[in-house]
Structure 1
């Protein structure tokens, strides 16, 4: 197994470029860090192009055999690749998955959700609720950036997460569509659970685009009983998804 000890190594430089969305799209690959995410990528049968670890005695042999290539790295190289303060010492370069957008019956739609922590939590919600897919708009956080991957706890690998023109998607979607709004909306409990629906969650500050709210079947509201001005978008999403799923 080849050893990489220099942060100036061309492979390491190339991997560090994957921290930018433009480069991820160009190379068709993304970088993951940590034992849990590497295991989730392996269990989800994503193509692992390169595996890098400081200590292979802690890595499952099946994952090592599954990867196209494996490298031993030192802690200095691990620190250069890591976005965390205490690197776990394991990384993988994974091929970006591609998905067909068809026959989705239950979809979470994200309108310009910009916070990576929220993006990851929303994808995790969709995964936990057994949704068919997550569709997100341009202007949302990239699901394959490090903070989103960590916040999703690997849920990004469990279901299609795709960038689309959400106006077109809602227009073509064969089912009820629900926006979320503080104004001109019905109490979410007035809506019954159903087999076929799309739920739209909006930008943390601005909410769902007004034009999009005009396209929906109905817009939903979660009442606030205390003094808080609003609920976190991921918390709201969890409440609504589980209600609509019944």
Structure 2
């Protein structure tokens, strides 16, 4: 096998990305501290044509060198908006018919592999603070809570890793269901 050169990957340019049909997924970052995590979420969102990212609470916004370092230009492609209050955003999105899913360890959470997205639905995935997770008021307001099964000694995954795992899983299921 020969590694492909970047020029052989047939990637979209910025204008093509902006006009491309987006995956009906929205990412909500609820009080993320790490600028590198924020940049990584932008990069993942670019890879899977995520419709939009909402940066909430203490979550920093572009432009910032530490976000840029991991985002690798994806802050220029993925639409984003800053909203101070995550719970208010969740309620607003729900009035627009968007199903809100918190990614958290909670009672009666649906395990990721058991979640099946509904056809023609848009989902907003909420990822929480590196220490405290998704705030309880946002978990309470969510339509669904999804948990990533884990089998080791640690209690959680890094938020950027969680985002990659969940977005890939939901994106794959959406593509299969269409």
TM-score normalised by length of structure 1: 0.56
1:64-87 superposed Cα distances (whole Å, 9 cap, x missing partner): xxxxxxxxxxxxxxxxxxxxxxxx
Counterpart CA distance in 1 for 2:142 and 2:170 is 15
* Runs of 4+ with deviation above 3 angstroms: none
Counterpart CA distance in 2 for 1:207 and 1:231 is 11
- Segments of structure 1 that go 5 or more residues without pairing to the other structure are 1-42, 46-103
Mapped pair 1:199 → 2:125: yes
Aligned positions, number? 147
| Equivalence map 1:1-246=2 (5 Å) | 44=14, 105-164=24-83, 165-173=85-93, 174-184=97-107, 185-194=109-118, 195-245=121-171, 246=173
Helix, strand or coil for the counterpart of 1:106?
strand
Q: Indicate if the aligned counterparts of 1:119 and 1:143 stay in contact, CA closer than 8 A.
A: no
Greater gyration radius:
1
Q: Indicate if the aligned counterparts of 1:188 and 1:221 stay in contact, CA closer than 8 A.
A: yes
Q: Indicate if the aligned counterparts of 2:55 and 2:61 stay in contact, CA closer than 8 A.
A: no
TM-score normalised by length of structure 2: 0.76
- Segments of structure 2 that go 5 or more residues without pairing to the other structure are 1-12, 16-22, 174-178
The root-mean-square deviation of aligned C-alpha atoms, in Å, is 1.9
Helix, strand or coil for the counterpart of 1:231?
coil
